[in-house]
Amino acid sequence: MRELSLNILDIVTNSIEAEATRVIIAIEERQSQNLLRIRIKDNGRGMDEEFVSKALDPFMTTRTTRSVGMGLSLFRQSAEQSGGDLDIQSQPGVGSLVTATFELDNINRPPLGNMAESLVNLIVGSIDVHFCYLHKTDFGHLCFDSYWLFARMAESESDIYDQVAPAKRLLREKLKEIKSKSF
Amino acid sequence: MKTLADLRAIKEKAKMEMATREQSAKYRISVAMGTCGIAAGARNVMSAILDEMSKRNIQDVHVTQTGCLGYCDQEPMVQVTGPHNNTITYGKVSPELARKIIAEHVQRDKVLADHVFK
């Protein structure tokens, strides 16, 4: 994956397939600690210990259409080659938490990329899921909730697809405000 | 300032509208968003579709995302399901082709035969 925002899109797709109704994506960038941390938390069906240990194996998948599942192993590879790691906490019937850490200035760390695209496409593509996006940097923080689109839709009595461009624009602007120079 | 109850009501209303839309939709479009699809550029394909839907003010189409379809080498893949549940699957879809699918297949009922995955 060229951008971490694509890995995030991929991991959240797992959450949706695990029938999550709530997904929280939390990103923390700390130049002071040379740290980038990405956390994805869902209330999907969760995994038992044995499943978690298998989940990072590229030759493990729940899918029936092909027999390899690369999503989590690719994300882990990105983290590990950037001086960080990937951790999965999960409980059956409760949900999962995937945490990936990276050295912010590591030369192998892929750029975060276009989070606005990943997030808004997820919201519109899975209308039944409630998404919450948090992004903290040394310069400020941002919080975006999928209710934003629905509220805009209700206020303007317009189509949800008409909210896509404004939502992406807003997110891009807000992210720019809190971005550190290294991005 | 909206209360939590207001927000819930807004969301329920939006969900109901989307459910009605899904039922009455002439076409249902689904973008394959497995790891393979995403790596091959499915996110930009989805963006192009959403953008074109808004630009052309299309009301009777429902867009959703799905997982891997099992033909990873043909990604990004887009499926268009018509009024009689007949599904056409397009392979190696670029954002430009995605826009064309909306303009031709969805709006003019013209299947883009050259790009259909068989």
Per-residue DSSP letters for A98-139?
Answer: EEEEEETT-TTPPP---HHHHHHHHHHH-TTSEEEEEEEETT
Q: pLDDT value at position A69? A: 64
Task: Tell me the residues of chain A between 111 and 130 that have a Cβ less than 8 Å away from chain B.
Answer: 117-118, 121-122, 124-128, 130
Stretch B66-89: mean pLDDT: 92
Q: pLDDT value at position A67? A: 44
Nearest to B65 by CA among A13, A120, A41, A24: A13
Distance CA B3, CA A139 (A): 29
Q: pLDDT value at position B1? A: 63
Q: Does residue B108 surpass a pLDDT of 70? A: yes
Where would I find the H helices in chain A?
4-17, 49-55, 71-81, 115-125, 147-156, 164-178
- Inter-chain touch B33–A70, beta carbons under 8 Å: no
**CA-angle at B35, arms to A92 and A77, nearest 5°:** 80
Q: Which residues of B touch A (CB under 8 A)?
A: 2, 7, 10-11, 13-15, 17-18, 31, 33-36, 38-39, 43-44, 46-47, 50-51, 53-54, 57-59, 63-65, 67-70, 72
Q: Does residue B91 surpass a pLDDT of 60? A: yes
B61 → chain A, closest CA residue: A161
Distance CA A72, CA A10 (A): 8
What distances in angstroms separate CA B12 from CA A49, A154, B8, one per listed residue?
36, 11, 6
pLDDT band at B70 (very low <50, low <70, confident <90, very high): confident
Residue B52 — φ and ψ, nearest 5°?
Answer: -70, -35
Stretch B81-90: mean pLDDT: 92
Q: pLDDT value at position B10? A: 81
Q: What is the pLDDT of residues B7-25, one digit of tens each?
A: 788 878 877 887 787 788 8
pTM (predicted TM-score): 0.91
- Inter-chain touch A118–B18, beta carbons under 8 Å: no
- Inter-chain touch A150–B11, beta carbons under 8 Å: yes
The predicted complex's ipTM stands at: 0.89
Token pair listed for A48:
């038992």
Residues of A whose CB is below 8 A from B106:
none
**For the ranges A48-57, A75-84, B72-81, B84-93, which has the lowest average pLDDT?**
A48-57
Per CATH, the homologous superfamily of domain B25-115 is Glutaredoxin (3.40.30.10)
Q: pLDDT value at position B12? A: 82
- Inter-chain touch A150–B10, beta carbons under 8 Å: yes
What is the rounded average pLDDT for all residues in chain B? Answer: 91
Strands A86-91 and A22-30: unpaired
By Cβ distance, the residue of B36, B43, B58 closest to A9 is: B43
- Inter-chain touch A124–B69, beta carbons under 8 Å: no
Q: pLDDT value at position A39? A: 98
Distance CA A58, CA A76 (A): 11
Q: What is the pLDDT of residues A49-65, one digit of tens each?
A: 888 887 777 776 665 55
- Inter-chain touch A150–B35, beta carbons under 8 Å: no
Q: What is the pLDDT of residues B21-46, one digit of tens each?
A: 778 888 999 999 999 999 999 999 99
- Inter-chain touch B7–A69, beta carbons under 8 Å: no
Q: pLDDT value at position B86? A: 92
Residues 6+ apart with CB under 8 A from A121: A9, B43, B46, B47, B50, B65
By Cβ distance, the residue of A13, A160, A165 closest to B14 is: A160
What distances in angstroms separate CA A48 from CA A53, A82, A88, one per listed residue?
9, 28, 11
Residues of B whose CB is below 8 A from A117:
43-44, 47
Sequence spans of domains, chain B:
25-115
**CA-angle at A48, arms to A5 and A56, nearest 5°:** 40
Residue A68 near chain B (CB below 8 Å): no
| pLDDT beneath 50: ranges in chain A | 66-68, 182-183
Q: pLDDT value at position A60? A: 62
